[in-house]
């Protein structure tokens, strides 16, 4: 199936009510389940979010996965282990429902990329370097004027190495080549208990487009979170994190947090 590109995502309709029977749900974390903040480490557990995820995992008979740019360990801490299946670092790490962990070997050039990013961050203390083992990211949300300098440095590093540049919302990330969020979704769909389910992928960033494509190709659909002036493969849209949590919570009627 070929996914349709939607030019005006703000005109996309909201998703239909979530019906757990027969579907599999794949959720991004930052910007989808948790608000974007200047410092990634400031995102922590939230009682309502944890409750919703735990009840959804039950209603979906464990066909629920978080697919994030964060590490699997970070996702587990933020969600308080509410979800067994997790893909981290854009799919380079993966933990199955049964607890098996799969990870790509880190690229040797990551250390050099981290050194360059750290030098840029020393010159502008408002920027922050995040090392994830399989990737390194430079966040410039607190210093938006550095956007072009950061992206130029990251593109030069990508051209000189085998690293892959992953540009996101006010962040440039260089990662080990390999899986992406779409391939992570495909891997989960080949495993119990996701096999045969209709996938729904919910995310906010460019990195989530691979997830939208994988969901569409498997007979499901993507849900874009937030406003956007870019093209998207998603078929539906929710305006913000609060709307996502409301939409998810509506699938567990009768439960009280």
For residues 44 and 33, the answer to whether their CB atoms sit within 8 Å is no
Q: In this structure, how many other beta carbons lie within 10 angstroms of the beta carbon of residue 119? A: 11
For residues 214 and 182, the answer to whether their CB atoms sit within 8 Å is yes
For residues 91 and 28, the answer to whether their CB atoms sit within 8 Å is no
Q: Is the peptide bond before 123 cis (omega within 30 degrees of 0)?
A: no
Q: Which of 10, 28, 81, 210 is catalytic?
A: 28
In the sheet with 164-168, reading across from the earlier edge strand, the strands are 128-131, 135-139, 171-175, 164-168
Contacts of residue 94, Cβ cutoff 8 Å, sequence gap at least 6: 72, 86, 87, 88, 101, 102, 103, 179, 184, 187, 188
For residues 205 and 168, the answer to whether their CB atoms sit within 8 Å is yes
Contacts of residue 253, Cβ cutoff 8 Å, sequence gap at least 6: none
For residues 116 and 136, the answer to whether their CB atoms sit within 8 Å is no
Q: Which residue, 89, 44, 43, 47, is CA-closest to 66?
A: 89
User: Is 28 among the residues known to form the active site?
Assistant: yes
Residues annotated as catalytic (active site), given as ranges: 28
């Amino acid at each position: 199936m070929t996914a349709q590109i939607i030019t005006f995502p703000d005109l996309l309709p909201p998703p239909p009510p979530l019906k757990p029977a027969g579907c599999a749900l794949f959720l991004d974390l930052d910007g989808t389940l948790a608000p974007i903040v200047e410092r990634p480490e400031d995102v922590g557990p939230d009682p309502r979010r944890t409750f919703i995820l735990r009840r959804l995992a039950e209603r979906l008979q464990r066909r629920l996965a978080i697919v994030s740019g964060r590490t699997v360990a970070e996702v587990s801490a933020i969600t308080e282990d509410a979800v067994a299946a997790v893909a981290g670092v854009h799919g380079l790490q993966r933990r199955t429902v049964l607890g098996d962990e799969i990870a790509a070997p880190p690229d040797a050039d990551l250390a050099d990329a981290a050194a360059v990013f750290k030098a840029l961050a020393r010159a502008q203390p408002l920027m922050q370097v995040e090392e994830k083992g399989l990737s390194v990211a430079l966040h410039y949300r607190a210093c938006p004027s550095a956007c072009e300098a950061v992206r130029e440095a990251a593109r030069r590093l990508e051209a000189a190495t085998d690293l892959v540049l992953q540009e996101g919302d006010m962040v440039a990330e260089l990662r080990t080549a390999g899986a992406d969020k779409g391939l992570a979704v495909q891997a989960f769909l080949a495993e119990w208990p996701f096999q045969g389910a209709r996938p729904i992928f919910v995310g906010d960033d460019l990195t989530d487009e691979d997830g939208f494509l994988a969901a569409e190709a498997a007979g499901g659909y993507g849900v874009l979170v937030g406003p956007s002036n870019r093209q998207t493969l998603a078929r539906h849209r929710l305006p913000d994190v609060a709307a996502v949590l409301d939409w998810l919570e509506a699938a567990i009627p009768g439960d009280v947090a």
